Chains A and B, each alone.
Chain A
């Protein structure tokens, strides 16, 4: 057995920094296979299905979809769903494994931990979403499957805002999942909360609520996401700008409660 006295390492001016927390969260995200697979599968599934629709040419080439230049983003909401699950898993995995304790011991002020987690997940899903959208746009141009998109630049306002809105809903989904996961700390509970309240709620709640109140379902995240996806082309209960504010308000409100609970509850 060798001498057990540890060598005195040169750790310089080691201290908790924003950059350090971001790097740490990036390492956590990429070092767990199930998270990598969920992330890759979300984008591969959406990209694959969209590419199939573009190559097949019928679905997007006829009817209403043919008049919408960015209709190649039609299946993005499926990606939003899987990214919500990813967001939930990213945070609840820490609680179920107990590694949250090591994380909080390393970053005891906790706020930076939550912000870094949100920033890394949002950043990664935004980057992947942007790459996917550019590739699908190029495929749209190559296949010519969408008549209204023929010869249209990606930066043409009729194309750009629709693509941008659909693309940004992907990181929004991941962030929304992360916020729900932080709120209830348990994957099953967070996913049940999502499907029970936010996905099925708008169909279920009006049956139980008086007419005057049931209109609030228009202000729930799914309704606001639909408005955003319409990019001003489709009719909605309110405008795109309002819908963006509604979505951000949901994340801010639920995120604020999650942050407060993280700060005040024992781990």
Chain B
């Protein structure tokens, strides 16, 4: 479990992270989202003691990372894939990390095989592609079989096979009761693997909760109904918690009722339906709306949410 409390980091005049508090639960994959410059990497760096917080705390299992006698057993971190000496082999890089904790050399070979770098284990890392560097970073994170995996943009440079492999790895890790905390710009990818979200912008917390809760907080789920008897259906659907919006003569958008309920009501009133489709905004659209006012390095009009919601479920 990761707990941040009133975490603040200032670099001179610039505030990178301000009064940030959140909790990452064990046993789930938590996505860490925010626009460029939102303070995600700074937060992860403070988690593992690379940066010192100006004030506030961030702990792993209730302890500061630097106070852990066996940090690699608690947290596995991928923060930048190219953080390896170009002249050193993948095997030697991992061995040097493993030796600090007395982790046996057999574990080094195990994680190298696990990430698919076994055949190039003794080649100089300077010749590695971005994807291979990313796999080496993931191998380093897995070395101590940690309780918490923290990955910053882990799918960068991975091929589709690698993305699928990583998705399964993270799901498997969380299924074993471990904590997975990852940042990514690839919303579609995150929506497939994340259970919870922490969304920040300009160093502040913007939203946190389950993926469904966060999306629902931006735009409640709705159902689009196409029927030749739109006005008749609208009148029978009206209720205390139901909002019906007429989009055109035959199309209604209904909030507060499920597609199943609408279908049953229409059937009971013998109203023919031509289309009945649940609609929910995507994680990407929800993210755009949440962070609209908190984009540090945006392009003009770039952060505007798309207005037409594709017919897909986010989970």
Given contacts A20-B99, A24-B96, contact A264 B82 (CB under 8 A): no
Given contacts A9-B110, A102-B140, A108-B66, contact A23 B48 (CB under 8 A): no
Q: Which residues of A contact B145 (CB under 8 A)?
A: 6, 8-9, 11
Q: From residue 20 to 77 of chain A, which have CB atoms closer than 8 A to chain B?
A: 20-21, 23-25, 27-28, 31-35
Measured between alpha carbons, how far is A9 from B176 in the docked complex, in Å?
A: 13
Measured between alpha carbons, how far is A83 from B92 in the docked complex, in Å?
A: 23
In the assembled complex, B168 has its CB within 8 A of some CB on chain A:
yes
Nearest residue, chain A, Cβ from B69: A15
Q: Which residues of B contact A16 (CB under 8 A)?
A: 69-71, 100-101
Q: Which residues of A contact B51 (CB under 8 A)?
A: 266-267
Does the CB pair B97–A106 fall under 8 Å? yes
Given contacts A27-B95, A108-B66, contact A101 B83 (CB under 8 A): yes
Nearest residue, chain B, Cβ from A267: B50
Measured between alpha carbons, how far is A4 from B164 in the docked complex, in Å?
A: 9
Does the CB pair B80–A98 fall under 8 Å? yes
Nearest residue, chain A, Cβ from B164: A1
Given contacts A1-B165, A9-B107, A98-B84, contact A21 B73 (CB under 8 A): no
Does the CB pair A4–B65 fall under 8 Å? no
Q: From residue 158 to 214 of chain A, which have CB atoms closer than 8 A to chain B?
A: none
In the assembled complex, A7 has its CB within 8 A of some CB on chain B:
yes
Given contacts A4-B165, A266-B51, contact A20 B102 (CB under 8 A): yes
Contact of A108 among B71, B82, B169, B176 (CB under 8 A): B71
Nearest residue, chain A, Cβ from B65: A108
Q: Which residues of B contact A236 (CB under 8 A)?
A: none
Given contacts A16-B101, A98-B83, A99-B93, contact A108 B73 (CB under 8 A): no
Contact of B50 among A5, A27, A104 (CB under 8 A): A104
Distance from B203 Cβ to chain A, minimum over Cβ atoms (Å): 16
Nearest residue, chain A, Cβ from B85: A97
Nearest residue, chain B, Cβ from A1: B165
Contact of B176 among A5, A93, A109, A266 (CB under 8 A): A5
Nearest residue, chain A, Cβ from B84: A99
Does the CB pair B175–A266 fall under 8 Å? no
Measured between alpha carbons, how far is A266 from B66 in the docked complex, in Å?
A: 13
Per-position binary interface string of chain A over residues 100-118, scored 1 when its CB falls under 8 Å from any chain B CB and 0 otherwise: 0111111111000000000
In the assembled complex, A234 has its CB within 8 A of some CB on chain B:
no
Does the CB pair B66–A109 fall under 8 Å? yes
Given contacts A16-B71, A34-B87, A106-B71, contact A266 B50 (CB under 8 A): yes
Q: From residue 81 to 103 of chain A, which have CB atoms closer than 8 A to chain B?
A: 93-94, 97-99, 101-103
Q: Which residues of B contact A109 (CB under 8 A)?
A: 66
Measured between alpha carbons, how far is A93 from B96 in the docked complex, in Å?
A: 15
Per-position binary interface string of chain B over residues 122-151, scored 1 when its CB falls under 8 Å from any chain A CB and 0 otherwise: 000000000000000000101011000000
Indicate the member of A13, A104, A108 with the most B CB atoms within 10 Å: A108
Distance from B95 Cβ to chain A, minimum over Cβ atoms (Å): 5
In the assembled complex, B25 has its CB within 8 A of some CB on chain A:
no
Measured between alpha carbons, how far is A9 from B95 in the docked complex, in Å?
A: 16
Does the CB pair A108–B49 fall under 8 Å? yes
In the assembled complex, B72 has its CB within 8 A of some CB on chain A:
yes
Measured between alpha carbons, how far is A105 from B101 in the docked complex, in Å?
A: 12
Measured between alpha carbons, how far is A5 from B173 in the docked complex, in Å?
A: 6
Distance from B2 Cβ to chain A, minimum over Cβ atoms (Å): 15
Contact of B100 among A12, A35, A106, A267 (CB under 8 A): A106
Given contacts A1-B161, A5-B173, contact A32 B93 (CB under 8 A): no
Does the CB pair A11–B93 fall under 8 Å? no
Measured between alpha carbons, how far is A104 from B52 in the docked complex, in Å?
A: 13
Does the CB pair B52–A266 fall under 8 Å? yes
Distance from A86 Cβ to chain B, minimum over Cβ atoms (Å): 14
Distance from A187 Cβ to chain B, minimum over Cβ atoms (Å): 13
7 contacts between A and B (CB under 8 A): A5-B175, A6-B169, A9-B110, A25-B96, A28-B85, A106-B97, A267-B51
Q: Add 14 more A-B contacts to A9-B107, A27-B96, A31-B92 (CB < 8 A).
A: A1-B165, A4-B172, A6-B145, A6-B169, A11-B145, A15-B70, A19-B102, A27-B95, A32-B85, A32-B87, A97-B85, A98-B82, A106-B72, A267-B45
Question: What 3 pairs across the A-B complex have the smallest Cβ distances?
Answer: A5-B172, A31-B92, A4-B168
